[in-house]
Amino acid sequence: MGLIVQKYGGTSVGNAERIKRVANRIVKRKRAGNQVVAVVSAMGDTTDELIELVGEITDNPPRREYDMLISTGEQVSVSLLAMAIHELGEDVISLTGPQVGIITDDIHSKAKILEIKSERLEKELEEDKIVIVAGFQGVTINNDITTLGRGGSDTTAVAVATAINADLCEIYTDVDGVYTTDPRVVEEAKKLPEISYEEMLELASLGANVLHPRSVEIAKEYNIKLAVKSSFCCNPGTYIKEVEELENNIVVSGVACNKGEVKLSVLGVPDQPGIASKVFIKLAEESINVDMIIQNVTYDGVNDITFTVDEEDFKQTKEVLEAMKDELEYRELSFDTDVAKVSIVGAGMVTNPGVAARMFEALAEEDINIGMISTSEIKVSCLIARDKAEQAVQAIHSKFELDKLGMEND
């Protein structure tokens, strides 16, 4: 018995048959005595078809119009899902992001949720309806439709769960939980029955592709219990909760790999205070997220600044840097698109010295060169050559004996 928010990804509602299956799952949960809100992504291929149409018209669509177009994908899936649930005899209503009152800023295609005015949602729940919410989208205070960017539906689900104070937020996806690493890369990967918000946050940011980091961030902030489950089977999945609630605190709980970043270097800038901040403030203004950063003084008193950004921001980042040539007085720019970031994550790391060293050792044994290193209390990341990524993940996974975790319990 409780108020449950579920989230179904695009694959889970990829065709009429799958939509009916999800409808059944939701209705079952409702009939067990729960209130259910389901957040849904666009059907598998629809977004791609829309993007193809755009390509026939322009290479440079205004982002506002792009959001207007792309947001139709979820509107289609939520209304179809509502029809399927109605067919099963339950009271149901679908709502778009704007109808739910998901207010965002106006950074189109990458909008951030500012507030959820949940009156409508609560009214429908009080009338004992199942509510289907379009993920990934919101609306500015000027009534323009926005989208939240990649993984946005996860964020919608967690934000909605927060707004209505849900007991649990279940993320249904095409994998059945969070693994020690990508099972497509390392066959011996093990599913984790539970993990802390912090570890999940690092794994999410590192490209584990299960949950969007922003959604984990919000869940952590408002202490919303998360579960990652498969929409195709009935395994218990992985629960994500506070560290103190975990049963075990293992040193390294996962190895992640992200091939979606690009390395940029600004070479030969004067060794003066404020140069780096100029670069990163400008990038922040353009809503470009910078990931790893290193800066080192070279022999002749000039600086090199090296950092990574998402591949999709590469073009824009390059343009920003080129436009700043006079201001920064750099000697040259260099780019490396052929990189991958391999990381280990674990809440127990902070109290176990030598974890990073073991990771470096694993890479050295494979003759893999490390380009950049970045660490946090519960994470170590290394930038390496992209074609060595799988080899590195396998070596590290086996170095930390993650295949022997014995935590698989279903």
Q: By the criterion CB under 8 A, which residues form the site for a copy of itself?
A: 16-17, 19-20, 50, 53-54, 56-58, 60-62, 64-66, 68-69, 71-72, 75-76, 78-80, 82-84, 86-87, 93-94, 96, 98-99, 120, 143-145
Handedness of CA 255, 42, 45, 11 (dihedral sign): positive
The phi and psi torsions of 284 (rounded to 5 degrees) equal -65, -40
Residue number with CB closer to a copy of itself (120 or 259): 120
Least Cβ distance, residue 76 to a copy of itself (angstroms): 5
Give the whole-angstrom CA distance, residue 241 versus residue 205.
17
Nearer to a copy of itself, 116 or 328 (CB): 116
Taking the complex as a whole, how short is the minimal distance between the CB of residue 143 and a copy of itself, in angstroms?
6
Q: How far is the CB of 37 from a copy of itself (least distance, A)?
A: 16
In the numeric block, the tokens 């598998």 are attached to 44
Instruction: List Cα–Cα distances, 381 to 133, 296, 352, 359, in angstroms.
Output: 36, 18, 17, 9
| Residues of each annotated binding site for substrate | 47, 74
Contact 70, 187 (CB under 8 A): no
Nearer Cβ to a copy of itself (143/296): 143
Helices (H), 286-406: 314-323, 325-328, 355-365, 389-399
Shortest separation between residue 58's beta carbon and a copy of itself, angstroms: 4
Rounded to whole angstroms, what are the CA distances from 183 to 177, 208, 233, 390?
A: 11, 11, 17, 11
Residue 21 or 225: the one with the smaller Cβ distance to a copy of itself is: 21
Nearer to a copy of itself, 82 or 257 (CB): 82
Q: Which two tokens stand for residue 327?
A: 């201001």
For a copy of itself, the closer of residues 71 and 303 by Cβ is 71
Binding site, annotated residues for ATP: 7-10, 173-174, 179, 184
**Which tokens is 310 given?**
């998402």
List 7's β-bridge partners, or say none. 39, 171
Q: Please state the closest distance from residue 116 (CB atom) to a copy of itself, in A.
A: 15
Amino acid at 175: V
Contact 222, 242 (CB under 8 A): no
Neighbours of 328 (CB within 10 A): 19
Give least dist CB 156 to a copy of itself, A: 17
